[in-house]
Amino acid sequence: MRKILFLFLSLFLLFLFPPFSFSGVYKDLEPGISKKSDADRILGKPIREIVKGERYGYDPKGTGAQEINISFNKQTQVIEGIEIFPESPTTKAKYQKFLGLKVPTVTQQHSNGNLLEYYADEGIALLYSGPQDTSPIAIFAHVNPLTFLKKAVEGKPPTELITGEWRWFNGLIVEITGGGMVAKDSRGNMADSGSWRVIDASKRKFEMKWRAGWTDTLTLSPDNNSLEGTNQTGGHVSAKRIIK
């Protein structure tokens, strides 16, 4: 009777949640630690070569996934990410409940225009099938926390993270481009200008140097729409992206 109950419970859980182990680990394969030899031993030899020496597709039969792709470090052959394509549409709510996902560390648009969320503590990345988190999950990935966040922030040119128009805390409209920044007043007259640089990509920190003498150290929010920090005197500085 216990065996029957256990079997029923197992089938129920497989139906309720995607067939993944737990955050950061898939079938005893842990990004950042496990190697290609481990993947080949557990999942079998790759069924296709996507990028020679770096990215391979594995047979998803019996896993409940439609497709499984694994990326490796070309030199060390350590697993960088395990991408799993769900067989059926899966909502964010199921992953949040199953893995205890909270607030994403990084939220950005993928190159295809769809939403990408990365959860650093859990070593999880979610790529949606649309631009909002209400869209079904297209790809669920276990990733190497030591490298994925760096790629998520540094992999995209910094200009894509903070360029655009911002409403500064003092009412000025600041336009940030790859070549610098210009602040204008409400009448459109230039009030100041300066340059910026990335201080720490993993922490999303930027430095803004103004010709007027101010130096702001700011942190970009996960949704890329807010800047918060201080100037060299410790004064509070903030800005909100102007979304048109």
Averaged pLDDT score across all residues of the chain: 81
Measured between alpha carbons, how far is 183 from 189 in angstroms, rounded to an integer? 8
Give per-residue pLDDT as tens, 107-161: 777 767 788 888 877 888 888 988 888 899 998 898 887 666 555 554 454 456 7
Q: Are residues 62 and 141 in the same domain?
A: yes
Q: In total, how many domains does the chain have?
A: 2
Q: Which residue has the higher pLDDT, 225 or 17?
A: 225
- 148, 118 Cβ separation under 8 angstroms: yes
Q: Are residues 143 and 171 in the same domain?
A: no
Residue 11 belongs to a domain: no
Q: Are residues 131 and 175 in the same domain?
A: no
SS3 173: strand
Q: Are residues 29 and 146 in the same domain?
A: yes
Boundary of a domain, candidates 154, 171, 186: 154
Distances (CA, A) of 132 to 54, 101, 129: 30, 17, 8
Q: What are 214's two structure tokens?
A: 């101010």
CA nearest neighbour of 159 among 141, 177, 137, 175: 177
Q: Are residues 171 and 114 in the same domain?
A: no
pLDDT of residue 75: 92
Residue 128 belongs to a domain: yes
Query: How would residue 222 be classed by pLDDT, with cut points 50, 70 and 90?
Result: confident
Residue 27 belongs to a domain: yes
Residue 127 belongs to a domain: yes
Task: Provide CB contacts within 8 A for 205, sequence distance 6+.
Answer: 198, 199, 217, 218, 219, 220, 229
SS3 133: coil
Q: Are residues 142 and 170 in the same domain?
A: no
Element containing residue 78 per DSSP (H, E): none
Strand arrangement of the beta sheet that strand 106-109 belongs to: 48-51, 55-58, 65-72, 79-86, 137-143, 124-128, 115-119, 106-109
Which CATH number covers residue 203?
2.40.128
Q: Are residues 146 and 191 in the same domain?
A: no
- DSSP letter at 53 equals T
pLDDT of residue 10: 33
Boundary of a domain, candidates 154, 174, 199: 154
Boundary of a domain, candidates 103, 121, 154: 154
Radius of gyration of the chain (CA): 22
pTM over 0.75: no
Q: Are residues 136 and 184 in the same domain?
A: no
Q: In the block, which residue shows the tokens 């070549």? A: 179
Give per-residue pLDDT as tens, 9-27: 333 333 333 334 445 688 8
Q: Are residues 52 and 139 in the same domain?
A: yes
- 119, 137 Cβ separation under 8 angstroms: no
Q: Are residues 34 and 49 in the same domain?
A: yes
Parent domain of 94: 18-154
